Each structure stands twice: as structure tokens, then as C-alpha cells.
Amino acid sequence: MKGIVLAGGMGTRLGELTKVLNKHLLPVYDKPMIYYPIETLKKSGITDIMVVMGGKNLGAFTNLLRDGASLGVSLTYRVQDRPNGIGGALALAKDFVGNDSCMVCLGDNILEDDLSLHVKDFKSGAQVFVKAVDDPERFGVANVEDGKLVSIAEKPSEPSSNLAVIGVYVYDNRVFDLLEKMSPSDRGELEITDVNNAYVSLGEMVCSEVKGFWYDAGNPASLFRASKAIFEGTPHGDVPGKAK
């Protein structure tokens, strides 16, 4: 299985923090944000990874990550020249994935769980992961009936559940054929929710709930919370003077 980290986007939700620096290079506690999705893939047993980013950030990413050897992975880079969404970024990995399957991680997702068993058991179709949250309207929301995923709604004003679809997806290589058949949304993007719902319609989508912490570190509050969670979970994470 190949790994894909999608690290494009403008980072507008982070305001001044991303005025001169791509959000995926911001620190989350003691590491750049981009390290965390790479580590999620590596922990899942995937070491052949493509990073997709905007063109103006190529030098910064390659200066930091090089060929990936220092992180125990092999990295390939592709540039997303136009802002045509997560689906558009994923489409750039078609030749890289070839006849293989792939795990896709959005570059601002900070995930505690080890997903290696899901990768090991994956045969075909697609798989998404969900997490119960207090603000599901910010995300794609899973509509689950009798334990089965029946649809995903993108940022609904009235969510049908509190299950947010996190930014980690597993696909067989048919995902690229599906992307080629899709039309852009009203905002001119190929929406990853449309890709996922296509697999739901085929009856080939599996939905699994993650147990550990998960943060979409794309706004100041979640970036802070992710750093705090990692700090408190490290051997040196005890705050001086904090009651134990």
C-alpha cells in the first residue's frame, strides 16, 4: 500500500500564522505538523509516501523532509498547481499509486491511533475513520444506521450525528477512475466527500471509529489542543507544579 499526504491549501483559518509559512510546517508541540501524518502512515506499515503541496512551498518542504530517510520513509513530491480541492490533489497521485491501494492523510490531521490492523486487513473498496466530536458541523458527518454507513454530509448545518469523518482514508486504485468521472462542486473543487459517497453507493465503504485523540489542527484552537495533548502524553509532559 502507498501513502499520500495532502499538504496543500492556503491555511486561511490560521490567520497571521500562515502569512509567510505553510500551515503544515507549523509546530505541533515539538515537531512540524507534517511529521504527524507521515508518522501515522509509517506506524501503519506504509513507507513509500507521496507529499502533495502547493508550488510555492516546494522548497520549504524538501529542505525539511529531504528524501524522508531521516524519518524512516521514502518520499516523493508532487505540486498541486491549482486549488481544485482534496480530490484534485489526490488525483495527482494516480501514477504513483499505480495498481496498488493507498492510505490518504490530510496534512493537518494529528492522530493517536495505530491503524496498522486496518491496513493489513484491507482488500478492496474504501475505508473512512470517524470520531465523535462536539462540533460535527465543521466536518464531513457520517450518517450511520444499524451500524452501517449510509451517507456522508459535508459540513451540514444540522448534522445527523456527532461522528466526524477524519482526514484519513483508505482506497483501492479505482478511486482515480471515480475522480475522473466527477464534476467540481460549486466552489470549483473535487470534493473528497463525493468520492467517499461514491464508494458508499457501490456498497464498498467501511467505517471505523478511532479510539484515541484526533485533532484537525487547522485552526488556532485545535492547533493548541493538539500540542497540549501531545505534550501531556510524552514522558516529559508533566507540567511543573501540577498535581499528580
Distance CA 17, CA 15 (A): 5
Which residues in 80-95 are b (16+ Cβ under 10 Å) and which e? beeebbbbbbbbbbee
Confidence of residue 237 (pLDDT cuts 50, 70, 90): very low
Average pLDDT over residues 56-69: 93
Confidence of residue 235 (pLDDT cuts 50, 70, 90): low
Task: Evaluate if residue 234 carries a pLDDT over 80.
Answer: no
In the block, residue with C-alpha cell 478511486:
175
Q: Which domains does the chain have, with CATH numbers?
A: 2-233 (3.90.550.10)
Task: Evaluate if residue 195 carries a pLDDT over 90.
Answer: yes
Task: Evaluate if residue 12 carries a pLDDT over 90.
Answer: no
- How many Cβ atoms are within 10 Å of 238's Cβ, its own excluded? 11
SS3 call for 232:
helix
